[in-house]
Copies of this chain bind each other. A is one copy, B any other.
Amino acid sequence: MARMKTVKSPWAGRDRNAEREEKREAVLHAAAEAFAERGYHRTSLDDIAARLGITKPTLYYYARNKDDLVSAVATRALDRILEAIEGDRESTALAQLQHLLRHYAEVMATDFGRCIIVVLDAHIGGPGGDLMQRGMRQIDARMRELLALGTEDGSIARGDPKLTAFMIAGALNGIARWFDEGGALSAAMVAEKFVNQLTAGLAPRR
């Protein structure tokens, strides 16, 4: 008798994957919320499990430990900023920088973005911490590059690209510390205002 061919239904498979993916999403969102609210040291896996109404053993199915979890959350936010790193090469360097900063600012106003700061502040090591360090250096390098290119194409005033990039990063990372989702300004509005203020400077233009 010929061996019966077992066909794995793609539908069944997809459903299981979709279900797992959906649960993983819920875990990441609960973790982002918890870490953004309470920081690294005051958040436990118990807190996150409680937010989801699941047991800690169930949570362990999605994350081995706290570092893995906060890193997974922060990595997603980092990826969203990195998406904006390649601007429209036809635009001026200033326009490309503004595009990157707008993205960066908006991400920092989300719970996921706050977790970038949580990971950096808590000096989390391992692959998650390394990834975050590397990603932030990549963003820093791109900002410096655009600042330098901008003095060449005339769209950005001459300055110190390294210090200016640090200044911008400080201003944008700060959003993670004070932004209030229930506040009067949306993340997009804050991003817009920050970019405009950084571009125009404090002194009036005559």
- Which residues from chain A sit less than 8 Å from chain B, CB to CB? 39, 41-42, 94, 97, 121-123, 147, 150, 154-160, 163-164, 166-175, 177-178, 185, 190, 193-194, 196-205
Contacts and interface: CB of A to CB of B under 8 A. Distances in A.
B204 A198 contact: no
Nearest to A204: B157
Given A200-B201, A201-B200, A202-B150, A170 B159 contact: no
B157 A202 contact: yes
Contacts of A196: 159
A125 B131 CA distance: 32
A151 to B, nearest CB: 8
A202 B170 contact: no
Contacts of A199: 201-203
A123 B121 CA distance: 13
